[in-house]
Structure 1
């Protein structure tokens, strides 16, 4: 019996040991199981997206280099686009050594929607190394049903560019008929092309040698455009030009404003995309596309140009067969609204047409801040003097100085000492040479303001600090960043200054600078009774995210100015303060330096003249300014070099107001 018991115990022990051994063996086998196919699928997706296949293992018949070459051949026609690829990999249900990777592709091809599709790749476990999964290469991995020798190409269909609208919602910049004038090299013998090019260049007013060189470099059958002329331009006789030797005049259409000069620095221009624009667009724009090159056309190009139609095809290497893989229709651009008034802008440009120095006229509707006209004179070489110029504003800044005085307790009857001259820290300041002697002595603020007594305002330097002046200028909208719709400059009044610098600031000189837009904003604020924020773009018309193409004269600075207003000044302008300032400005017209504006049509005018000296001692020149209010209209006239505000800017403003009411 003892032997039987021992045998049973031994049997139980050996069975338990065997079971434990089997469990341990099973656990060891599970822990060393070769990896699944997911990592291999992820590596393939990354390689197809990037073009680098070094991390992918291939089944016999291909390798990383061959796969990369196949991808390049297939995708090269779509450069610079590249797909984003995500893999979902699953093992076969009936064979754990086989798997399928489903690759989901997304191409951002600059169309109204992305191109998406899925392909699949077969994976198998390497029989020699169970840790490795091998990809069986197939061109259809790259695009649906792609075969050896096929490549992907795209065909674009240009979208209809949207108009820029005026303040009434009417087309302002819209397609207008033009002719491209140039040398057609198929129309003239090679030996005569240089002379023909120079003759055409001289006729249209461009550099003859440069154009002749351009023609010489072009292909033997090229048409080399010298100038594109709108059909309505009276300065060019298109039929006469077309009769010149070797010249061709090709009709077409371009988005254009009503006239060649109409608000051009602000509206900008449209033309063939530059190399920089193409590169920075990351495929959204290609060579040959028409894009905005400057101004609003550039700033809001993404909104205005719309999105092109696009067809992507798989074609044989010899082009003998093609099949469409993707198509989307073009989406027209969205119009951009502006605040500009056509007649007001034309009148502003008309009064500047014969002004020889750089000049500007800006008109604002104070009740809304809408910019009605923003004109820069004809000699500004396309620069927006009106919105970006930085000039000493002279006595027009006395509006801000007067406001600072009012905030310190002064009234329009407060007396001031007006002397022929005043010396501050060794520097002598004088009134203008034509300052009336009868207005010297102890005079009220109304008289000092009306006749613009420099010495009286400088005499307030101990009462009005530089910080007070800067705060008053901000309350009038002169400083800060406007929601103009384009990068723009209003003005700069330093918050700290002393001695002669502070004295000069009180009369709009020293380090104080302003633009014509800035000074128009100042008087618009006075007229409105609150700080005005000027804008040339109807913010309601701006498509979210479409205002970042950016342009200051055609460069690429991003701006969201059209979408949001700047912060309000620390101390807003009050209605009572504005009322007193309007009284002071009316006195300039009734009994001061701008009496020439008394008889203009359209109601009472309020104004302030300004003259600011600039340049080296002994050769100083004068900036001439005049700002005015008439009803719900605020205007600034600026001339870079003139006599005085009243005598140089005054007649321009008078004619402008007369034209508006004519």
Structure 2
């Protein structure tokens, strides 16, 4: 295992070149001649900028710039400085200047004072240049630095159980000290084939590296590392034990939680010196967004050295690192693992979101592997199809329609020349004049559209808003809570009644809708308990108790009498549900998204599959598995 704190060499480069600073001149001492303070300020500004080539130097025999660059080169590209004059003592044509320097090296701070001597000559003040002006060095000493990384904070789940924490890994690669130079390329190819990585690219990296380099091919979890016997057959192939911040499994909570890895050149450049080669940072998800909190601050060890290796380094500064702070989430480890496992074999993009209605806590936020690393669960934008009929039903209730009011469920309905119909195997027993509850339970499209005069578009949008769709809430992570236009005409207006047209929602948003029905109030989702969600939304018309009861009864009817009957035998409290199928694209026949939302006790769930036959056939079995796993 690697030690918990990693020490790496500081980056090499120029001494903070390009940093500009305007230094205000100190008050003059009086008199009409040159002022030592002006020269002192000029010196401080030059040291700050990293360019002392124009500083007036006594005798001009010393190469000031070369001296400065030699001294600070070992501090690396992350080295910047701010120098100011704190004191000037002038007497008999000479002056002693005290300089205060605040230097930042790889994100760590080092403050010190130095002194400079000025001499008045030819009606100007000149600097008696010495290396000790730059830093506390002696003679031909130069500085070198090591940054010391602190422990990275964990990502925690419900009850502060670690989700992402330091776990054992193996760095598999080629150790060029263990293979003859002419054979290193062949070893690289053989190892690449064993690891199933790009053999040509890995071979080029191995052959281009130094004679004593270790060239990493792949980092794998300890349990997934190639057997020692397999590595032993490849000259130079080794596995080095290490640790990385990882979840309990490769897919756990991805891509929401994100990953940690080595910095890229672009990240180094953007960090303005705070990061460099060898550092590890969050590359995606929560690990990236909260990297500063999780990473903490590095410690710093600075020493003065000389060219003679027999002379021991002289320590001039040291600071302890500050460990990162763990990030708390509401995710339930058991439910999250179950959701990830359920989606593991789903080929299209998919998602499962589980919410605790009583608190709004997100218990599982899973995006399937078919999403190619995108956060389908929280950021996806899809037509919600018939799951949206819960909002349509609320708009009807607020217009005087009751659950028992008869609505016309016909095989088809035409609006502005476009024919809308029900799904292909819609039960004939639920056609004709049926109650609103029956229409919702069996997901009758034509009844919703035929009754749309009872739910004007602005009222439809208001009803959806009361259930959480279209709200502007900052959860501490990128999240889309849906969009419902308050104006629509013609076929778009008809499509809105069944969750299509310009209506969009994420799986997270539809889980919130289900949670709001289950708890009888507008539920605001919470992922990070230490960060109160910032809700900048306009107030919504509160959900009345009777409205919530009616909606919950309709969702229960989906299970008892409609398209969700397969959920009747799920153990535990009564299950409510709503299926959804949404057409998308230009193909004929159109392809469809499959949705299903469900409630049971203090649990609300949303399931989405990018391509599916129907909500009940494709998303339904996934919902059932999640509900059973939650028992």
Q: Could you state the TM-score of these two structures normalised by the residue count of structure 1?
A: 0.85
**Alignment partner of 1:259 is 2:249:** yes
Q: CA 1:481/1:217 → structure 2, altered by over 3 Å: closer, same or farther?
A: farther
Contact map agreement 1:424 1:503 (CA 8 A) in 2: yes
- The within-5 A match list for 1:128-527 is 128-129=122-123, 132-144=124-136, 146-189=137-180, 193-233=184-224, 237-246=226-235, 247-318=237-308, 320-527=311-518
Q: Distance in 2 between matches of 1:324 and 1:219?
A: 30
Contact map agreement 2:441 2:557 (CA 8 A) in 1: yes
Contact map agreement 2:94 2:120 (CA 8 A) in 1: yes
Q: CA 1:222/1:110 → structure 2, altered by over 3 Å: closer, same or farther?
A: closer
Question: What is the CA distance between 1:321 and its match in structure 2?
Answer: 4.5
Contact map agreement 2:406 2:434 (CA 8 A) in 1: yes
Question: What is the CA distance between 1:430 and its match in structure 2?
Answer: 0.7
Which moves more between the two structures, 507-516 or 491-500? 491-500
Q: Distance in 1 between matches of 2:33 and 2:188?
A: 75
Q: Distance in 1 between matches of 2:135 and 2:56?
A: 20
**Alignment partner of 1:657 is 2:624:** no
Contact map agreement 1:111 1:328 (CA 8 A) in 2: no
Q: Distance in 2 between matches of 1:197 and 1:59?
A: 58
Q: Distance in 1 between matches of 2:58 and 2:462?
A: 76
**Alignment partner of 1:71 is 2:40:** no
Which moves more between the two structures, 628-637 or 307-316? 307-316
Q: CA 1:390/1:251 → structure 2, altered by over 3 Å: closer, same or farther?
A: same
Q: Which residue of 2 aligns with 1:123?
A: 118
Q: Which residue of 1 aligns with 2:535?
A: 566
Contact map agreement 1:352 1:360 (CA 8 A) in 2: yes
Which moves more between the two structures, 192-201 or 375-384? 192-201
Which moves more between the two structures, 435-444 or 198-207? 198-207
In structure 2, the gaps of 5 or more residues are: 1-28
Question: What is the CA distance between 1:428 and its match in structure 2?
Answer: 1.1
Q: Distance in 1 between matches of 2:56 and 2:447?
A: 88
SS at 1:181 equivalent: strand
Q: CA 1:56/1:566 → structure 2, altered by over 3 Å: closer, same or farther?
A: same
Question: What is the CA distance between 1:60 and its match in structure 2?
Answer: 2.2
Q: Distance in 1 between matches of 2:233 and 2:582?
A: 51
Q: CA 1:317/1:622 → structure 2, altered by over 3 Å: closer, same or farther?
A: same
Q: Distance in 2 between matches of 1:176 and 1:105?
A: 41
Contact map agreement 2:440 2:554 (CA 8 A) in 1: yes
SS at 2:80 equivalent: coil
Question: What is the CA distance between 1:55 and its match in structure 2?
Answer: 6.1
Question: What is the CA distance between 1:192 and its match in structure 2?
Answer: 5.2
Q: Which residue of 2 aligns with 1:34?
A: 33
Q: Which residue of 2 aligns with 1:530?
A: 521
Q: CA 1:658/1:80 → structure 2, altered by over 3 Å: closer, same or farther?
A: closer
Q: CA 1:185/1:346 → structure 2, altered by over 3 Å: closer, same or farther?
A: same
SS at 2:300 equivalent: strand
Query: What is the aligned residue count?
Result: 599
Q: Distance in 1 between matches of 2:532 and 2:61?
A: 55
- The within-5 A match list for 1:42-81 is 42-53=41-52, 56-62=55-61, 66-78=63-75, 79-81=77-79
Question: What is the CA distance between 1:636 and its match in structure 2?
Answer: 0.8
**What RMSD in Å do the two structures reach over aligned CA positions?**
2.5
Q: Which residue of 2 aligns with 1:615?
A: 585
Q: Distance in 1 between matches of 2:619 and 2:130?
A: 77
SS at 1:266 equivalent: coil
Contact map agreement 2:300 2:321 (CA 8 A) in 1: yes
Q: Distance in 2 between matches of 1:317 and 1:630?
A: 73
Q: CA 1:218/1:490 → structure 2, altered by over 3 Å: closer, same or farther?
A: farther
What are the Cα deviations for residues 25-67 of structure 1, in whole angstroms up to 9, with x where unaligned? xxxxx9972253322222111111002346643332447xx22
Question: What is the CA distance between 1:381 and its match in structure 2?
Answer: 2.7
Question: What is the CA distance between 1:611 and its match in structure 2?
Answer: 0.3
Question: What is the CA distance between 1:352 and its match in structure 2?
Answer: 2.0
What are the Cα deviations for residues 575-606 of structure 1, in whole angstroms up to 9, with x where unaligned? 42333321221111111111111110121011
Q: Distance in 2 between matches of 1:173 and 1:580?
A: 42
In structure 1, the gaps of 5 or more residues are: 1-29, 540-561
**Alignment partner of 1:626 is 2:609:** no
Q: CA 1:475/1:35 → structure 2, altered by over 3 Å: closer, same or farther?
A: farther
Which moves more between the two structures, 568-577 or 291-300? 568-577
Q: Distance in 1 between matches of 2:558 and 2:202?
A: 54
Contact map agreement 1:311 1:327 (CA 8 A) in 2: yes
Q: Could you state the TM-score of these two structures normalised by the residue count of structure 2?
A: 0.89
What are the Cα deviations for residues 244-277 of structure 1, in whole angstroms up to 9, with x where unaligned? 4233222222221111111121111222222222
